[in-house]
Structure 1
């Protein structure tokens, strides 16, 4: 069978036997996107990215949605990404995915004038210790907070994300040494407003704002992801916040077909970018199902119509 678009997920979400609330949300989000594209007259499939039996040349486009095991299987995923890109086109593009999958992209956006958290990037196999990295961040980057966030440059769902107080640095030296031997890391100044005020996620399709949510960490935690007990609330951003998000997507190497812009108020009281997600972001269609229809129209008009 030939498809216009295949929606990409991971194998855990293809035919799950145990449907937790988390998995139910995954299935609902994907279903809303599939049905929206079908309502536009498109032939749509849904496949795990690592499906060994699927011929990727049989779909004109592949849309990344819930491929949320990629960071645990990054070498395997990267090999598949290269192979599949020779057989079909990705939404967003392969070039954008390569740029966005590694959080070094924050450096590019910072150079383009986008405010980001104070960040020290530490490359794989560096001989620096965590204590030395903190000292460097304080001296060269002006870290003023007494706490720090350490996380990988390629990651998701808060994998290996640690909040470290200045009196806890020694206790994290061993895990830092293990991680830096395997992958590049980021050391960031802890952002107090994320805990007190939350993080705003704004969805934009072709640069146009559609909807937003406010993510709030549970009491006593710093991670806003619902995986860790955080809560998600509908949110109406200000014009200033929307304009900031639009500035961010237009600073990317290409304007993404779909994007999620996560922003927060930094320690200096300025709006800052936490992450620009244009690879496989959760888009909370379940809170605004009509937005799935907008994405479907965007894909049809911007991709498929241009090929006919």
Structure 2
């Protein structure tokens, strides 16, 4: 994106290990229409956290890259699929346990009570199908309907959204993020929200901890990774623990996830090594 001043970004930690392998890396704004993408060998989508504000132009840029001589990663078809959270249902159909989810094409206040009845819960999450960084995401109780109705009608009058039961372990334990580079597992972090919040992102005060994943957690991540086609260069898989000790997919991040290179000091080198092998496998060579 054009400015990262309100965000925390660690992608520059890749520059040194990439250079040791013969690659020169730089950050380029996707909004810069003067860029000739043919000047690059590989374009890695990393931190366009504002893409959901202008998806039409974002994908116009990606198609320009796809039509250039540069290799685009992650793959355009993957990015298009992953840009809409309807992908959750595709993965569910593939046997993945997801956070229980209702898809609604627009908000109708008359359906408010049915959201809670459907999940037999007193607390729900509403989020847009296209979005990032918890923007326009709400945690609400049944009695909050009158307070939020006008806001929800304004945001989702002609915009699809998801309804999910609030998962208590987000507060009591946190949300796990598993990172893969190619088919190589890299590291796992546990993200917990600040007091009186439910959002785990750093920008919202979330706390991060590097953890060793238990076998069941890693198995859930591997199962999801094996369903993704074509193979992604990088993958972040966000999971939460259910009340019956199963891991549920919260989100699959293939477009603009922070990969938290700061949390695992070996992860930048690991990414650079996978990247170097990846590009050779796909036939990219230095000019």
Residue by residue over 1:251-278, the C-alpha shift from the partner in whole angstroms, topping out at 9 and shown as x without a partner, is 1222221111111112443211111111
Q: CA deviation at 1:137?
A: 6.5
- Aligned mates of 2:260, 2:24 — CA distance in 1: 23
1:11 counterpart residue number: 2
8 Å Cα contact 1:199/1:214 also seen in 2: yes
Superposed, which structure 2 residues align to 1:216-255 within 5 Å?
Answer: 216-255=192-231
- The reply to whether residue 273 of structure 1 matches residue 264 of structure 2 is no
Structure 2 length as normaliser, TM-score? 0.92
Check conservation: 2:115, 2:163, Cα contact below 8 A.
no
Provide closer, same or farther for how the CA distance between residues 293 and 108 of structure 1 changes in structure 2, counting only shifts above 3 A: same
8 Å CA contact 2:116, 2:142 repeated in 1: no
- Cross-structure match for 2:128: 152
* Residue aligning to 2:182: 206
Q: After superposition, give the CA deviation of every residue in 1:59-87 in whole Å (9 maximum; x if it has no partner).
A: 12110111111122223222222222211
TM-score, normalising length from structure 1? 0.86
From 111, 132, 142, the equivalent of 1:132 is 111
Match of 1:108 among 75, 90, 93: 90
Shift of residue 305, structure 1, vs aligned partner: 4.5
Q: Which protein is richer in strand relative to its size?
A: 1
Aligned residues between the structures: 283
Structure 2: stretches of 5+ with no match in the other structure: none
1:34-183 correspondence runs (5 A): 34-87=15-68, 88-123=70-105, 126=106, 129-132=108-111, 134-135=113-114, 138-139=117-118, 143-183=119-159
For the residues of structure 2 that align with 1:133 and 1:95, how far apart are their CA atoms? 35
Change in Cα spacing, 1:182 to 1:61, as seen in structure 2 (3 Å) is farther
Structure 1 gaps, min length 5: 1-9, 14-18
Identify if the C-alpha distance between structure 1 residues 249 and 59 changes in structure 2 by more than 3 Å, giving closer, same or farther: same
Mark the CA change 1:217 to 1:131 in structure 2 (over 3 Å): closer, same or farther: farther
Task: Give the C-alpha shift of residue 283 in structure 1.
Answer: 0.8
Indicate which of 182, 187, 191 corresponds to 2:163. 187
| Greater relative CO, 1 or 2 (CA 8 Å, sep 6+) | 2
Alignment RMSD: 1.8
